[in-house]
A and B are shown apart, each in its own frame.
Chain A
Amino acid sequence: MRWLARITVFLLALLLWPGVSAAASGEQENLVLAAQSDTAGELDMDEYLYGHVGDAYGWHITTVNGHHVTVHLPVIVRSKETGWHVFSSKHIEEGEEYEGFRIAAKGEPHEGKLVEDTPGGVLKPLDISITKNVFGLMVNSFVVVLLVLLGARWYRKHNAVEEAPHGFAGVVEMLVTMIEDDIIKVCVGPDYKRYSPYLLTAFFFIFINNLMGIVPFFPGGANITGNIAITLTLAVCTFLAVNLFGNKHYFKEIFWPDVPAFLKIIPLMPLIEIIGMFTKPFSLMIRLFANILAGHMMLLGVVAVVFLTAEMGVGLNAGMSVIAVLFGVFMDILELLVAFLQAYVFTMLSSVFIGLSRQVAEKE
């Protein structure tokens, strides 16, 4: 218990310090908020939340003494009139215009996106910029590949038949065998080998992206798996895996199921089944997206308590800060569980859907 008390005291001191120093210097500055808000010292909750869980052209890390510390990322756009443009995101910060492009301001159409001012009006160019999420995705994908390839390297160097790996490769093997034995073999059925690389990749990809999303500093913290484009791609992959390799029995069950004939002549059952084909991956997409997004939102909300109570006096702020930190620790630990769980659930449901498409007709 002594260490717990120490940590609490330390956190309290740490939390009180900026307030005390700010009061001493007489300037009202907030660590996170100044960057997000025009009216200094006040928290724009919408911008704070959506700024953190959403995408951006540059990666804003923190603000020190009014200076933004931002990783500038390349903007890649194709204008219908002037062709390809590649430039750094630092040129379009703060609503500046560069080569005819600017970020659409609040209230405009395509808010927050890059738009082009042309004589014919404001147009949205083809935008494949390396945004914050794309960059985070690249970093995380690199981590995934590194993780698995480093794990696999052990097997090239050792006689894996004679000995079992220790340390890092052991952890990778543990995860791989857990997913393969507990989920893939059980849910997919006899020809699981064909699907196991995809399912394992999906698991590791989601798991690492979830975990990196919890890391609060660069290059973690991007809300990758809480972005619908990411989960959409993953869901489409599962959809393809299910429907491209579905067997005769699977399609028969969809278009000509074992139900009374009138349900097929007025194609009620086939209709439901066809809708089912799409709702299954759709649920995958929404589940992962919503869980991770909600987790990020909760954490951000808990942290925001510290800043929301900043105006209400030192005592209240300190008290709420301690509560917020303790609750934040709890939430972070919960998010660790969710990070694993959602990756696990996505893999398991994908396996189940694939397994359903590979089922053989039961002999009667």
Chain B
Amino acid sequence: MSLVTPDFGLLFWMVLIFGIVLFILWKFGFPIITDMVEQRAGRIENSLRLAREAEEKMHALAQEQDRLVEEARKQQATMLKEATESRKEILEQAKAEAREEADKILAAARTEIAAEKESALREVRAQVAELSIGIAEKVLRKEMEDPAAAERFVQQLTEEI
């Protein structure tokens, strides 16, 4: 058998067999695999796109969150500042008010004390006057018991006048 002359019988069978193989694989073999692979490739591509989109969205969300946190922090700071200020103000005000009140009370107390003192002094003065009159009365009575002394006294008084 020569190697380079195709044998008819083998050629016949080859055409038949290869034809059948080709038909079967064309019909039931490769298109199923390639179509499915293609579909999967499409799906993977789609999934990748979605993932990328989701990532972008996540990124945007994260940024938004950061922004919100930053804003909240700022707000907190201003609020704290305001609170400190208002506290200071209130304290100042309270202090001023308290001082005023205290002044008022002091003033009232002072006037009262002055009035009390006046009245007390007046009373003391009246009492002292009464006492001195009493003493003077008693001294006089004692002096007048002796007519000579009384006489002398009257004399003295008249002289003095």
Contacts and interface: CB of A to CB of B under 8 A. Distances in A.
Contact of A128 (B1, B9, B29, B33): B9
A164 interface: yes
A229 to B, nearest CB: 4
Nearest to A124: B8
Contact of A113 (B1, B25, B33): B1
Interface residues of A, number: 53
A149 B3 contact: no
A148 B9 contact: no
Interface string B3-35: 111111111111101101110111011111110
Contact of B13 (A137, A164, A173, A176): A137
A103 B43 CA distance: 61
Interface string A208-236: 00000000000000000001111011100
Contacts of B24: 145, 149
Nearest to B25: A201
A267 B13 CA distance: 39
B75 interface: no
Contacts of B33: 148, 151-152, 155, 172-173, 176
B18 A205 contact: yes
B40 interface: yes
Interface stretch (A10-18, A30-38, A48-56): A48-56
Contacts of A55: 1, 7, 10
A359 interface: no
B29 A152 contact: yes
A80 to B, nearest CB: 15
B25 A200 contact: yes
A134 B30 CA distance: 25
Most buried by A among B8, B20, B30: B30
Most buried by A among B7, B13, B18: B13
Contact of A134 (B1, B10, B32): B10
B13 A134 contact: yes
A255 to B, nearest CB: 29
Contacts of B22: 197-198, 201, 237
B37 interface: yes
Contact of B1 (A112, A155, A176): A112
Contacts of B18: 141, 205, 233-234, 237
Given A112-B1, A144-B21, A228-B4, A196 B30 contact: yes
Contacts of A156: 32
A229 B10 contact: yes
A190 to B, nearest CB: 14
27 contacts: A50-B1, A53-B3, A113-B1, A129-B9, A130-B13, A133-B10, A141-B21, A144-B25, A148-B30, A152-B30, A160-B40, A173-B33, A173-B37, A176-B30, A177-B34, A180-B34, A196-B34, A197-B25, A197-B30, A198-B22, A201-B25, A201-B26, A205-B21, A229-B7, A230-B10, A232-B6, A233-B11
Given A149-B29, A198-B22, 8 more contacts: A128-B12, A137-B13, A148-B30, A197-B25, A228-B4, A230-B10, A237-B18, A237-B22
